[in-house]
Each structure stands twice: as structure tokens, then as C-alpha cells.
Amino acid sequence: MNSASLNRLLCPQTVAVIGASEDASRIGGKPIAYMLKQGFAGTILPVNPKRETVQGLKAYPSIDALPETPDVAIVAVPASAVLDTVTALAKRGCAGAILFSAGFAEIGEKGAALQDEIVAMAKAHGMRLIGPNSLGMINPQTHFYGSFATGLELGFPKPGNVAIVSQSGAYGAHLMTAAVAAGIGLSAMVMTGNEADLTLGDIVDLLVEDPNTKVIALYSEGVKEADTLVAALERARQKRKPVVIMKVGQSALGQAAALSHTASIAGDDRVFDAVMAELGVVRVQTTEQMLDIARLATRGIYPADNTLGVFTVSGGAGVIISDAAALHQLAMPPMPESAQKKLLELLPFATPVNPVDTTAQVLNDMTLMRAFTESLVVDGGYRSILGFVTYTATAATTGDRLREELKSLGQAHPDRLFVLIALGDADKLRRYEEDGFTVFEDPSRAVAAIAAMGHYGQAFDRQPKQTPPAMAAITLPDTTPSEATAKAILSAAGISVVPETVCTTPEQAIAASQALNGPAVLKIVSPDILHKTEMGGVLLNVQGDDQIRAGFQTLIERAKQHDSAARIEGVLVAKQMQGGVQCLLGIQRDPVFGPMAVFGLGGIFVEILDDVVLHRCPFGEDVALEMIHSIKGAPLLLGARGQAKADLKALAKMLAKLSAFAVAAGPKLQSIDLNPVFVMPEGEGVYAADAVITLQP
């Protein structure tokens, strides 16, 4: 959407309310009442054929009778009347409509068909839709309240820099109400409902361009138009706008509830985590976490090299903070020895390591507070500073003196992230916030939010990635191929496999084994028997002509006994690999984000350890190397305990090529399983010993 459309949607000058009500407690009356109460400066045009006025405003009998074309229309009519309403608005040239009405895709096929018809009408005239089944849209900056959220009766959000976007109306309003209670100012609140037209990604895209929005908080039950969302989140990363998301529907039961609620598709939860991490989005599990992170992120300080320095008046609090930092992998390096010595000279019974415990002595001499905290910043060099000062921050005997010492510290170091754990009078705590200190009540929550700022910094500073390998379009067979055919397809795409030959007679098998100069592996080859081990379709360490002949005949007989109707292409004679590290490389098509690459240790380890990493396809060798290094078992590939270092360069090249292959193969490809892949010592290459390609049914 262009900037003009953005401005008309987020900052409408003229708002029509279709189905306007005189009763401020009704759905069609609440938006008017809210805007009048808050002083909306634009024009409100109520449409109600039965009234001359609505809430003191002139009312109009129809959309055609409106004196001007509205920027945005609020539609609060029964589902059966929505199509005619949207048609009339679209023909008038209205930029966008917010559809409160329910009874569409969320109730089944009939509702979905009507929803599609409404969208088609709007798109034919260039009008965009929020909803249906939406609780609306709010812009506290302009006092536009296109919502019937009852939570606004508890308090209106103050203008600020956090935008909340929610697929759920009621929960979105809950988030807004919680933000108001936490004192968080909002730039926008959008509840997308069924997302028949504008999706979560579209709204994020709008907010990335909104100058009032610094932080975007999302509540999601599923993803429609994944490409749109991914592109919008990547733009947010590039523009250094932090995004925090609460994605629900992790369990099978939760996914079913999400589908019935918002008519969305919920993909695999592990895939979602991987994609969000790739895009620099921080995922949270609770409302509390979301608002904590959003509030701290408005400071605009995102240290990529995040380290935490702590000063405390309580040793116990220092332990709690240290535990939380370990949980969130937030580094807390010790103070330099010279700084520790200097601090001990000032206060011999202090603990100067990190956390720096000033003890209660600081209450008698506040200059110690400035000396200790200044040392954390200057000598310790920590990017984030957390102070546990509890009720001393606001107590009558200590609060004012403490604030003066800390205020000068913050002013001297505006590039550092300063957070306090403090309790007491709300007005006094607000003064610390005005000084640049974000105040939390709980130390563990504060540490989690500080750690998130570091994740944002790393994501924002991330350098452009390498271009994925070039890959011509892949033509896949009509039916799921056998192992031999799968390997031939992959080999043609530059993915190396173990040397092997498909043989149809014992004599061919003997000749093939002689060319290997070592023991062979024999496997039955059949597109109908993809999992061969379970039926005895693999023989290892077969040597000599007699063993090869007997092994060939054994595999043919076992295959016929297992499935008399199975198509048997022959027996695969492959080199028996020795040494190396066995890995798994795979592709799985996610219903939301498309092909995802999977990497981990192979063989039995993949099931026992569940030590795998995922990444959206395609990607280059640099991302492949990051994936390889990220698994817990990476030391086995890096030469742990004197073992030879594996050929990581060849492994990364294969993984990157596999990711490009998955995209080039198109939607017909369901999955690829290369297990085991033998990663040989450095310079000796990587070879797939088994391959299964599964096609979409």
C-alpha cells in the first residue's frame, strides 16, 4: 500500500459509521461515543435510515446520501447486509472499511463463500478491508476509535510508540487494556479478525512505515499469506523496529481452536520459532512478557554485544538476577580486577565482582552509589545496567538522594540501557522513568526484557547473507521414486551420494562390488518399499562373490515376502562407508512457510537426542554453517577430543544446495530425508548413503 493509503487508514479525516446507533452501549454506538469523548478532530458521518441525528451528529439515510466520501467506514450491520454495504462504499471510492460483522469464514463454508464475494467486490474498486469479525482499529495519536472494545471504558490509551496488532478481537482489547494499566503509550491498535483481505503481514507493513510506531507487538493464532508476513518482518528488522510476538496454538488442541476462531492455518510450532528467529522477532509466551519487552524496547537501545552489569543492595537479589541471566543466556562477565580493587578500597565489605553488592552502607553514603554504578559503566563496560534498589528508590529518607545520583549517571551515558528494580509511590517511580530508567518490580522479568534487547541488536546488525546456490527448475517424477532414482535426481543437482550401482542380476552385483575395492552395502530397490531396514532390506559389510550372490537373492526373496505386489527395480550395491560423522539432512514442506531445511546428527541420534535445527529455504553456505554450529552435537564435527575435524565446507555446500533444490522442485515436493549422510574428515567430502523423496499426494 502506498503512503497515501497508509495515512487514510491509520489517520482518517472522515469516518462513516454504517449501522450507527444512538445508544452508546451498542456496537454501532460505541465508536461514535468514544471518538466524541476523546475529541476526534475529523468528521464523523453516521448512517442510519431511521434517525435524523445520532448522538448529536447529523445522520444520513444511506451511503449514497453522504455529503463526502469517507476515508474509512465502520460497518456494524448484520452479515446479510455486509455485501450491499461494501458494494456501496467501494463505488463511492472509500479507502477502507472496518467490518465488525461476524458470521463469515469462522462459521463454515457458507460464510466463507460470502466473505470471498465481499472481498472480490472491495478489491475490484481498490478498497481494503479489516475483518470481518474484527473488533476494530484505534489510533490514540489522532483519537480515532474505530472499535467497540468495552475495555476502553476502563481507560483510553495515551499516545505513544507501541503498536499492538491482534488476530483476536477480545484478546487484543485485553492486551490494550493491560498496556493502559502498565502506562504504555500506543501508536495504534488493530484487531484483524478473519483477515479476509488485510492480514497480519499487511498491517505490520503499514506500521513499519508509520513514524509514530517504534515497537510492534503481535498476537497471532495462525498465519495467512506467509510471504507477506515474512517480507514485512524483514522490513521491520532492516528499519530497526523491534517486533515481539505471542503466537498461540502450539498444541494440537490449540491449533484446532485457532482454526475455528480465526479460520487460520497454524503451522508446526518449531518451524514458527525458526522463522521468527531468522527475522529477528522475539517470541513470548505471556502477556506480561510481551508488554515488558515492548515497554523497554521504546528506549531505542539495542546492544548487539549485550552484557549485564548489576548493582544491588541485596545479595539475595543478586543471586536471583544471576540465575535469570543464565536462563536467558545473557552474559554477566566479572568486573576487571583493578576495578574490584578500587571498589573494595571504597567499601571493604562490598562484593565487587558482578553483581556488585553495595550492601546497606550505601544508604548512609549515597556517593558510594554513584562511584559503584559509574565503575560498572566505565570500568566494566557493560552495555546494560540493572540496579536492585527496591523501596529505597522512593522512601522519604533515601529516594530523592538516590534519584539525583542515578540521574546524573544516566545523563552521562545515554548509550547504555538502564533498568531499575524499584517499588513505591507511582509518581516517584515515574520520575525515574522520565530520567531514562525503565522500572520493573520483578528482577527476573527485567532480565528477560534486557536479554530481548540484545537479541534485537544482533538481528538489526546482521550483515546481508550470501546468495543461495543457483538451481535450475527440477522435474520430479509423477510418483514417489525409489532410493536409487531419488539419488540420481539429487546427484544431478550437485548433491553428492555414496558410489553405487543398481543391479538386476547377481552377476551385475558381483561386478559392481568388485569395482568398489572393499565391503559393500546391499539394499533392495523399490518405490513401494521406502523404509527398508524394518523388513530386512539392507545388508551391511558384504564381501566376496559368494556373499554378494547370496545377499542379492536374499533381498529379492524378502521383498516378495514383505509385499508381493511391490515393484522391484533390483538391488543397490553401494560402497560401505567407514569413519566420518553421520548426519541428517532433510527437507519438510510446512503448510505455512513452505520448504524448511532440517539438519542434525544422523542415524539413531536424531530420534534419541532430538538435536536438530530448522531454517527456511533457500539459503547460502554461510547460513548452512550457522545451522551446523548451532546444534548441541556440533563438537563431534569440530574435532572434539582429538578426533579429526569434519569436512564442514563440503557439508555446508550440500545443505545449501539441498535448500535450493527444495525451492526449485516446487510445491510437488513434500519432503526429503538424507540419513545417514557421512561427513568425512576435512577435505574428504560428504556423501548421502540413503535418500527418500516424498511427493505431495
The three cell numbers of residue 686 are: 560428504
Does the CA dihedral 603-604-609-614 come out positive or negative? positive
Is 445 found in the same domain as 528? no
Residue 493 has pLDDT above 80, yes or no: yes
Is 569 found in the same domain as 640? no
- Tell whether 473 is covered by a domain: no
DSSP conformation class of 586: E
Residue 1 has pLDDT above 60, yes or no: no
Is 520 found in the same domain as 403? no
From 255, 279, 298, give the residue that closes a domain.
298
Domain containing 326 — which CATH number? 3.40.50.261
The parent domain of residue 34 ranges over 1-148
Domain containing 521 — which CATH number? 3.30.1490.20
Element (H, E) at 98: strand 96-99
Indicate the pTM of the whole model. Answer: 0.91
Element (H, E) at 613: strand 612-616
From 298, 322, 338, give the residue that closes a domain.
298
Domain containing 654 — which CATH number? 3.30.470.20
Cα gap 171→151, rounded to integer Å: 10
Cα gap 399→391, rounded to integer Å: 8
Is 250 found in the same domain as 392? no
Radius of gyration of the chain (CA): 31
Is 175 found in the same domain as 129? no
The percentage of residues in the chain with a pLDDT greater than 70, rounded to a whole number, is: 96
Is 268 found in the same domain as 237? yes
Q: What is the mean pLDDT of residues 602-629?
A: 88
Residue 251 pLDDT level (bands cut at 50, 70, 90): low
Residue 465 pLDDT level (bands cut at 50, 70, 90): very high
- Tell whether 206 is covered by a domain: yes
- Tell whether 487 is covered by a domain: no
The alpha carbon of 369 is separated from its chain's Cα centroid by a whole number of angstroms, namely: 40
Say if CB 254 and CB 248 are below 8 A apart: yes
Residue 140 has pLDDT above 90, yes or no: yes
Q: What residues does 681 pair with on adjacent strands?
A: 646
How many C-beta neighbours within 10 Å does residue 155 have?
11
Is 237 found in the same domain as 124? no
Is 633 found in the same domain as 520? no
Is 163 found in the same domain as 131? no
Is 452 found in the same domain as 548? no
Is 215 found in the same domain as 259? yes
Residue 264 has a pLDDT of 42
Query: Most distant CA pair in the chain: distance in Å?
Result: 101
From 541, 559, 575, give the residue that closes a domain.
575
Cα gap 69→95, rounded to integer Å: 9
Q: What is the mean pLDDT of residues 372-380?
A: 94
| Total domain count, the chain | 5
- Tell whether 478 is covered by a domain: no
- Tell whether 130 is covered by a domain: yes
Q: List pLDDT tens digits, range 149-196.
A: 999 999 999 999 999 999 999 999 999 999 999 999 999 999 999 999
- Tell whether 491 is covered by a domain: no
Q: List pLDDT tens digits, range 298-322.
A: 999 999 999 999 999 888 999 999 9
CA dihedral 600, 601, 607, 612 (to 10 degrees): -20
- Tell whether 654 is covered by a domain: yes
- Tell whether 468 is covered by a domain: no
Q: What is the mean pLDDT of residues 630-650?
A: 90
What is the crossing angle of helices 443-460 and 315-327, to 10°? 40
Q: What is the mean pLDDT of the chain?
A: 93
Is 539 found in the same domain as 454? no
Say if CB 48 and CB 21 are below 8 A apart: yes
Cα gap 36→14, rounded to integer Å: 13
